[in-house]
Amino acid sequence: MKKLLVLFALLIGTYAFSQQASDVKFSETKHSFGKITQGKPVTTNFTFTNNGSKPLMIETATAECGCTSPEYSKAAVLKGKTSTIKVTYNAAAGGPFTKKVTVKFAKIAEPVILEIDGEVVEGGGK
């Protein structure tokens, strides 16, 4: 019985300190660059708001390839405040592209997937 009570207390404690995916609200999770020039990196910012009651921290933001690089603050985002994840794509290869960045927030089980797309053209652009 004692072991059961300890297990129950641990589960309640874990739940009390966890957050939910609904605590994070992105203004958009997809950005289209349209036509961009080969060899000229492009950047966009994904803005999110902490709708939860506890500070929110990004654990990791990882791109699926080396041509895409996310940057983010290591500081906690307080309740009601916003922050950004800057995503840069280095347009080295020509043609259409779609790239994803997986964002993992501390104490939130489900990651958020951000997506960028566009078409790389030689010498021209927008």
Who has greater pLDDT, 3 or 68?
68
Residue 119 CA neighbour count, 13 Å, CB half = 7
Q: How confident is the model at residue 8 (pLDDT cuts 50, 70, 90)?
A: very low
Instruction: Give the E-state strand segments of the chain in sequence order.
Output: 24-26, 30-37, 42-50, 58-63, 68-72, 82-89, 95-105, 112-121
Interval 41-94: pLDDT, tens: 999 999 999 999 999 999 999 999 999 999 999 999 999 999 999 999 998 889
**Residue 16 pLDDT exceeds 50:** no
Q: Write down all domains in the chain, each with its CATH number in brackets.
A: 2-121 (2.60.40.10)
Is 91:34 a contact under the CB 8 Å cutoff? Answer: no
**Which pLDDT score, from 0 to 100, does residue 7 have?**
44
Give the count of beta carbons closer than 10 Å to the beta carbon of residue 115.
15
Measured between its terminal Cα atoms, the distance across the chain in Å is 68
**Which pLDDT score, from 0 to 100, does residue 11 have?**
42
Residue tagged 């966009």 (tokens):
44
Q: To the nearest whole number, what is the mean pLDDT of the chain?
A: 86
What's the rounded Cα separation, in Å, for the pair 1 and 34?
Answer: 62
pTM (2 d.p.): 0.80
